[in-house]
Amino acid sequence: MGNRTIRIPLDLDPYQRQILLDTMHEYSKIANYIAQKTYYLNTISQVKIHHLTYRDVRTQSNLPSQLIISARMKAVDTMRVLKKRGRRAPPKFNKYMAIRYDKRSSTLGAGNITLANISGKRIKIPITIHSYYRRYQDWDTKSLDLVFRDGKFYIHVSVERDDPRFIANGDIIGIDRGIVNLAVGSDNSFHNGSRVKKLRNRYSHNRKTLQKKGTRSAKRRLRSIAKKETQFQRDVNHCISKKIVGNMERGSVIVLEDLKGIRKAGKNRSKSLRSDLNRWAFYQLDLFINYKAAENGIRVEYVDPAYTSQKCSRCTYTSKKNRRRSEFLCRSCGFSLNADLNAARNIRNDYIDTLDPYQLAYLVTNQIQRAHISIPDVASP
Ligand SMILES: [Zn+2]
């Protein structure tokens, strides 16, 4: 199952803006009122709460009935979640809480959207959906939220689709992510990060100089650098994920390290390198690979990152001494290889080790049928 959120900024005239703000405040007022009621009535049944509050609210508020119902559903849902976590006190909804719309309270057309609101008359707002989102046009719309963020209104449309049926073709690629080589595939593909590192160092140097200055213009420059850096990182991650997924066919498996485990000392990277690790950038790359893989019928699997850089990918002998900077040299069998590539192969092998004999036999048969050629060893990129 895949799901995405499409964000549409709303271009409003002052009147529409005021109406939507008023509607939002009233919506949150009602949600808070119902959450209180839910608390005192000591029930989280949507039906019971509806019968006990609807008429009351309807006479006191000019919020359209569909939005009263929506506020009640949100309030009771939230109470239900809190109760599961062992909290009974009612939540306090912010006055800018998102309004959940449905088909009866909104209409999403090709060039505009109409929204029910407090004025009693629907407002129609012209919209432009970014061309990027066209790929989701045949997905199912699950929900539609009116969101207020940083002084602006947005519509968030959440769409959903079942993943196309996955039939393994036997291709499995392990990917090692790092600093020098941003990503290395067990198929000997290197996605080099030297340009990225150079730029990042330059940014970090400029940042330090500007931070020392501390003037107002320096602060402004700092913000613009941060923005550029984020954009740059994003472009790099898009590019790498596209290349990784683009090299694979439908039915392939990409294996990544589960980096939630990287905090455990298992990963033997030097301290300076680890301090360099932009963890956020790693997660972003992870995310992009997942998105693109899902759209192309490729599966992403995870393995524990412990020892992937210390283990020999040929004989599995594991020792810290095996790794010396960018080169891997096995102290047991003498096998040598680029260290990141060795890690990528371990990632692939670790995943294969988790398969049961039937799955394995199936993959092997598929690979032989496809005349899969084994990959030669290379010492360096
Ligand atoms: Zn070895």
| DSSP sequence for 78-96 | HHHHHHHTT--SPP---TT
> Hey, what are 378's tokens?
């290379």
pLDDT band at 263 (very low <50, low <70, confident <90, very high): very low
> 254: part of which helix (H) or strand (E)?
strand 253-257
The answer on pLDDT for 266 being more than 80 is: no
Q: What is the domain partition of the chain in residue ranges?
A: 2-161, 172-192+237-369
Q: 72 or 374: whose pLDDT is higher?
A: 72
Q: What is the mean pLDDT of residues 289-301?
A: 89
CA geometry: angle at 97 spanning 17 and 76, to 5°? 140
> Hey, what are 227's tokens?
């923005």
Give 327 Cα–ligand 1 centroid separation in angstroms.
Answer: 13
| Phi, psi values for residue 39, rounded to 5° | -65, -50
Distance of CA 92 to CAs 1, 21, 30, 53, 82, Å?
A: 33, 18, 11, 18, 12
How do residues 29-77 score in pLDDT, each as one tens digit?
999 999 999 999 888 899 999 999 999 999 999 999 999 999 999 999 9
Give 340 Cα–ligand 1 centroid separation in angstroms.
Answer: 15
Q: What is the mean pLDDT of residues 77-98?
A: 89
> Hey, what are 313's tokens?
């990918």
> Percent of the chain scored above 90 by pLDDT?
46
How do residues 108-159 score in pLDDT, each as one tens digit?
887 899 999 999 999 999 998 777 777 777 777 888 999 999 999 999 988 8
Give 139 Cα–ligand 1 centroid separation in angstroms.
Answer: 49
Closest CA to 58 of 88, 30, 18: 30
The answer on pLDDT for 379 being more than 70 is: no
Give 28 Cα–ligand 1 centroid separation in angstroms.
Answer: 63
How do residues 363-372 score in pLDDT, each as one tens digit?
766 655 543 3
Give 104 Cα–ligand 1 centroid separation in angstroms.
Answer: 65
pLDDT band at 346 (very low <50, low <70, confident <90, very high): very high
Give 179 Cα–ligand 1 centroid separation in angstroms.
Answer: 25
How many whole angstroms separate alpha carbon 38 and alpha carbon 61?
18
How many whole angstroms separate alpha carbon 191 and alpha carbon 63?
55
- What is the reported pLDDT for 165? 65
| DSSP sequence for 285-353 | HHHHHHHHHHHTT-EEEEE--TTTTTB-TTT--B-GGGEETTEEE-TTT--EEEHHHHHHHHHHHHHHH
Look at 58-67, 97-106, 349-358 and tell me which has the smallest mean pLDDT. 349-358
Give 318 Cα–ligand 1 centroid separation in angstroms.
Answer: 8
| DSSP sequence for 277-301 | --HHHHHHHHHHHHHHHHHTT-EEE
Question: How confident is the prediction for the chain on average, in pLDDT?
Answer: 84
Q: What is the mean pLDDT of residues 354-364?
A: 74
Q: What is the mean pLDDT of residues 167-191?
A: 87
- Environment class of 214 (CB within 10 Å of its CB; exposed 0-12, middle 13-18, buried 19+): exposed
> Hey, what are 39's tokens?
């608390």
According to CATH, what is the number of the domain 172-192+237-369? Answer: 3.30.420
> Hey, what are 203's tokens?
């940014």
How do residues 223-262 score in pLDDT, each as one tens digit?
888 788 778 888 888 989 999 999 899 889 999 998 764 4
Strand 181-185 with 172-177, pairing: antiparallel
Give 314 Cα–ligand 1 centroid separation in angstroms.
Answer: 5
How many whole angstroms separate alpha carbon 229 and alpha carbon 237?
12
Alpha-helical segments (H) within the chain: 14-41, 46-60, 65-84, 194-213, 216-246, 271-276, 279-295, 339-353, 357-369
